[in-house]
Amino acid sequence: MWTLLLALVTFAMSRFRPDIDQAHVVLTYLLVVLGGSLAGGRRFGFLLAIISFGLINYFFQEPFDTVAVHKPLELVELFAFLATSMTATQLLSYAQAEAAEAERRADEVTRLSHLGSETLNAGTAEQALAAIARVIRDELRVDSSAIDRVMGDSEVEIAHAGAWPVRESARSLTLPLTAHGEAVGLLRLHHPTDIQLDASQLRFLEALTYYAALGIERMRLEGEAAHAEGLREANRLKDILLATVSHDLRTPLTTIKALAQDAALRGDENAVVIEEQADRLSGLVNDLLDLSRIKGGTFRTTPELNSAEDVIGAVARQFAGAARGRKLVTTVDLTQPALFGMFDFVHTLRILGNLVENALRYAPGDSTVDLTVTREGDTLRFSVSDRGPGVPASEVHQIFEPFYRPPTAANDGGAGLGLSIAQRLAHSQGGAVQYAPRLGGGSVFSLVLPAYDPD
């Protein structure tokens, strides 16, 4: 068609050859060359440029109807036309290629956006991965695709699309799926013939494998979240059970203690033991109830201005006759200004009592337990030091957990609630309980509370 148009243009312009301007001839042929290039490509455009070069020379350069050129300037004009038309054809071809590439990229972006939308709209990670497997199969035109999740040393199939099971004669292509630098799964493609992918498909596949890896990671996170939720629910039910049982035990314990006291008055030798055990069990019940209230946020503390010396003295009086053969040494520097802090006196006394009781329990016989208080910046530090076995480094992170007891703990009826309650009571006052090994052996437990300057 373009060759015929070139012939028609030549015939039409040759009728007005004496009157037509040379520039009009060149521009007309140039438009035909560009149109032919746009329709037929670069090679066809080059062919039309060469033919136009010859037609201009033969029909529109004097002398007419001959290929001879008498003026050197006219030869320059002819070659200028040829160079211009070929350059324009080359540029037009390059622009066409760029436009086609841009269209392909736009199509890839559209398809990926559809995939992202489909993935995000999926109810679960399994549904999202199934959608990705279908898109991979359809876009790459393979017989089937499958996504495996890496679990330890094995792979577990979690999604597939297409013909299943895979025929033994099928060709396979396996690609790793990575998320955050770690292998999380595999993508397997199956087809009756060899799987060959062009550059566009490879780019698309790279994006798809990224989506698949994120889907597997989402599945892992959903599993961990479900497990964590299960643990939280189990912990909540455990707290409810403990609170209920502890509350229900208070009345029978009170009755048992009253009966034991009556039996003691009648001279029953076992009554004292019964009363002691009832007191121990009552203490455990109270600890369980307090822990339940602290976790539930119903346990209140009232920080007020108090003297550190007063609380140290109260602890010393509490253990004056119950040091179990050990010696409790309290240290307050009376030469320095009195130390004050904002804390709840009763609950602070309970915290220090727990720490001192633990120290006396684990300290060797005839050893010393030290209770000191110092000012450190904006805080008061009450420290309880013992010379016992200390806490193994591997278990330090567990010591403030409820019901934790060290393997070396004596079977003295303790439930492992003291440090947990102490830590929570300290937090409720804006403080904390800290542990550090003591130089020379033993433990140092410190209660850190906000200090106060009366002045």
At which of 299, 334, 363 does a domain end? 299
Same domain, 180 and 274: yes
Assign residue 369 a region: left if phi > 0, alpha if psi is -120 to 50, beta otherwise?
Answer: beta
Domain contains 276: yes
Domain contains 113: no
Domain contains 310: yes
Same domain, 309 and 402: yes
In this predicted model, which residue has the larger pLDDT, 117 or 167?
167
Same domain, 145 and 87: no
Same domain, 283 and 146: yes
CATH number of the domain within which 253 lies: 3.30.450
Question: Mapping DSSP to helix (H, G, I), strand (E, B) and coil, where does residue 147 land?
Answer: strand
Closest of 331, 422, 425 to residue 370, by C-alpha: 331
Give the sign of the dihedral formed by CA 79, CA 80, CA 85, CA 89: positive
* pLDDT, tens only, 10-22: 777 777 777 777 7
Same domain, 148 and 172: yes
Same domain, 183 and 315: no
Contact 431, 448 (CB under 8 A): yes
* pLDDT, tens only, 209-246: 888 888 888 888 888 888 888 888 877 777 676 666 66
Domain contains 112: no
> How far apart, in whole angstroms, are the C-alpha atoms of residue 128 and residue 211?
9
At which of 299, 323, 352 does a domain end? 299
User: From the centroid of its chain, how far is CA 135?
Assistant: 27
Domain contains 105: no
Same domain, 205 and 335: no
DSSP string for residues in 178-216: EETTEEEEEEEEEESS-----HHHHHHHHHHHHHHHHHH
* pLDDT, tens only, 54-87: 877 777 777 777 766 666 776 777 777 778 888 8
At which of 100, 119, 142 does a domain end? 100
Same domain, 283 and 361: no
Which residues of 114-269 form beta strands (DSSP E)?
A: 144-151, 154-162, 171-179, 182-191
Contact 81, 53 (CB under 8 A): yes
Domain contains 135: yes
Residues 6+ apart with CB under 8 A from 134: 161
Whether the pLDDT of residue 329 is over 70: the answer is: yes
Domain contains 283: yes
Same domain, 267 and 352: no
Domain contains 359: yes
Closest of 411, 435, 408 to residue 423, by C-alpha: 435
Range of the domain at 439: 304-452
| Domain tally, the chain | 3
CATH number of the domain within which 406 lies: 3.30.565.10
Whether the pLDDT of residue 351 is over 80: the answer is: yes
Q: If you average pLDDT over residues 96-105, what whole number do you get?
A: 78
To the question of pTM greater than 0.75 for the whole model, the response is no
Count of all residues that appear for the chain in the document: 455
Same domain, 428 and 410: yes
DSSP string for residues in 270-309: THHHHHHHHHHHHHHHHHHHHHHHHHHT------EEEEHH
Q: Provide Rg for the chain, Cα atoms.
A: 45
Same domain, 75 and 154: no
Same domain, 294 and 393: no
